Copies of this chain bind each other. A is one copy, B any other.
Amino acid sequence: MTATFTAVDSIRRKRDGLALTTAEIRSLVEGYVDGRIPDYQMSAFLMAVYFRGLCDREMTDLTMAMAHSGDMISFGDNPRIVDKHSTGGVGDKTSLVVVPLVAAAGVVVPKMSGRGLGHTGGTLDKLESIPGFRVFLSPEEFRRTVAEVGAAIVGQTGNLVPADKLLYALRDVTATVDSVGLIASSIMSKKIAGGAQRLVLDVKAGRGAFMPAPDRATELARAMTAIGKGVGLRVVAAVTSMDQPLGLAVGNALEVEEAIGCLKGEGPPDLQEEAVELGAHMLVLAGVEPDLPRARDRLTRTLSSGRGAEKFEQMVTAQGGDGRVVDDPRAVLPRAPVALEVTSAKAGWVRSIDALAVGHLTMRLGAGRQRKEDDIDPRVGVTLGAKVGDRLEQGALLGVVYAATDGDARAAARAFEKAFELASEPVPPPALFHGVVS
């Protein structure tokens, strides 16, 4: 009765635009996790937060209350440990490139990743397209891999941030997902419980991002750096473009192949730029290089030398995967039985490629999940034959659809063609980075 009474007071105060106290926020989160505060009060509170927002201090308090709701992992205070997180996009395989790349330069990356949901892919799903690759390591295996290789990418194990799992499930069915304060606290609580002390965030903005408007994405980036300051975590947040897919490949095995190519210095240019830029911030945070220009140089050299690709091979092998994937991706990775080329009906310059549409069509091909329970097909997806700004002649390749059946391929090809918008005038290539908040 007392707890319920307190909860309704907190709801009312937030509803009226007041900031809640640290104790109030902790009591709400603890009370919700242990069942004293019912779903119906929490959902009303979340909707009030949707409308009123959270100040930096409230976000910090919410983050810490959630982080402390379950296990807290620690990797000690090694300053070379840096984590990386992306808010998710279409064709976003940056982690597959940047983690081995910076590890090859001396940064230590014990990274916990997630699975894909909706139109975006997940790093774990991509890695699992490599035969034998295990994303679930025991705590000992995880530590040993990080110690020996300098990097590991695993799924969340144990009871990490149960408050976030409960709250996210409730937000999902009460239209309260889309709140900067709640999103920022959710992401940061998982990073903090996972032991992060230095963190580079890639906040996606654009058609294919969860937060399409660049100013909202910047607000989210700012919120997460503010939480970082509040809890003593060093955070750099880049806001990057997700209007068109990142790189050329969308789909799990296809993206692994592209990431390996990029680690060998073969591009594509936007993926390489993003990996080098985010990686450079990681090197500076780790103290491996004193400034960004030198960090960029170092990583560009690491790419050309092939040491990033070697590191990826070590990591794959350490996690049980077939390391030969680095030398010959096509021989090792599963291939879709149907490949259908899609060509342009007219000539022009590519004005836009709708990342959301591409995300949805690859999800329908089986590359992603509509619901958490869905299985995915690692083989399917698309590769782009052109990017925004490219000149296309009539009949030129827009891309290739990789599908399980001819019917799937034809349906996807129609949607894929529609995702391209052509202009009759040259289109300047878009900027990848909107800005950096730290």
Residues of A within 8 A of B (CB): 4, 7-8, 11-12, 15, 38-44, 46-48, 50-51, 170, 172-176
20 A–B contacts from the bound complex (CB under 8 Å): A7-B173, A8-B172, A8-B173, A11-B47, A11-B174, A11-B175, A15-B47, A40-B40, A40-B42, A40-B43, A40-B173, A41-B173, A43-B43, A43-B44, A44-B46, A44-B47, A44-B174, A47-B47, A47-B48, A51-B51
Which chain B residue lies CB-closest to A15?
A: B175
A40 and B4 in contact, given A15-B50, A51-B51 (Cβ under 8 angstroms)? no
- Chain B residue nearest to A39 (CB atoms) is B40
Extra 4 A-B pairs, beta carbons < 8 Å, given A40-B170, A40-B173: A8-B175, A15-B50, A43-B47, A44-B175
Q: Considering the complex of A and B, which 10 residue pairs feature the smallest CB-CB distances, nearest first?
A: A47-B47, A44-B174, A39-B40, A12-B175, A11-B175, A40-B43, A43-B44, A51-B51, A44-B47, A40-B40
**In the complex, are the beta carbons of A44 and B11 less than 8 A apart?**
no
A163 CB to nearest B CB, Å = 16
Q: Within the complex, what minimum Cβ distance (angstroms) separates A210 from chain B?
A: 15
Chain B hits for A41, CB < 8 A: 43, 173-174
Which residues of the other chain, B, contact A173 by a CB distance below 8 angstroms? 4, 7-8, 40-41
Per assembly, the copies of the chain total: 2
Q: Which residue of B15, B39, B48 is within 8 Å of A39 (Cβ)?
A: B39
Name the residue on B nearest A46 (C-beta).
B44
The residues of B that contact A174 with a CB separation of less than 8 Å are 8, 11, 40-41, 44
In the complex, chain B residues whose CB is within 8 Å of the CB of A38? 39-40
Residues of B within 8 A of A12 (CB): 175
For A12, A15, A47, A176, the residue with the greatest tally of chain B CB atoms inside 10 Å of its CB is A47
Whole-angstrom distance between the alpha carbons of A152 and B285 in the complex? 79
Q: A337 vs B147: C-alpha distance in the bound complex, in angstroms?
A: 84
Bound Cα distance from A38 to B38, whole angstroms: 12
B residues near A43, Cβ cutoff 8 Å: 40-41, 43-44, 47
Interchain CA distance A48-B4 in the complex, whole Å = 21
Closest CB in chain B relative to A10 CB, distance in Å: 9
Q: How far is the CB of A351 from chain B (nearest CB, A)?
A: 29
Q: What separation, in Å, do the CA atoms of A222 and B2 have in the docked complex?
A: 37
On chain B, the residues within 8 Å of A4 by CB distance are: 173
Q: How far is the CB of A24 from chain B (nearest CB, A)?
A: 14
CA distance A7 to B172 in the complex (A): 12
A172 surroundings in chain B (CB, below 8 A)? 8
- Closest residue of B by beta carbon distance from A171: B44
How far is A11 from B43 in the complex, measured between Cα atoms in Å? 11
A275 to B174, CA, bound (A): 46
For the complex, give the distance between the alpha carbons of A173 and B36 in Å: 13
Please give the distance in Å from A372's CB to the nearest CB on chain B: 14
CB-defined contacts of A175 to chain B, threshold 8 Å? 8, 11-12, 15, 44, 48
| Interface-centre pick from A8, A39, A175 (highest chain B CB count, 10 A) | A175
Name the residue of chain B whose CB is nearest to the CB of A16: B175
Contacting residues, chain B, for A7 (C-beta < 8 A) = 173
By beta carbon, the residue of chain B nearest A47 is B47
CB contacts (< 8 Å) of A44 on chain B: these are 43-44, 46-47, 174-176
Report how far A38 CA is from B11 CA in the complex, Å: 19
CA distance A205 to B270 in the complex (A): 64
Distance in angstroms between the alpha carbons of A41 and B170 in the assembled complex: 9
State the Cβ distance, A277 to closest chain B Cβ, in Å.
Answer: 35
Closest to A172 in B: B8
Q: How far is the CA of A7 from the CA of B174 in the complex (A)?
A: 8
User: Shortest beta-carbon distance, A46 to chain B, in Å?
Assistant: 7
Minimum CB–CB distance from A15 to chain B (whole Å) comes to 5
A53 to chain B, nearest CB (A): 12
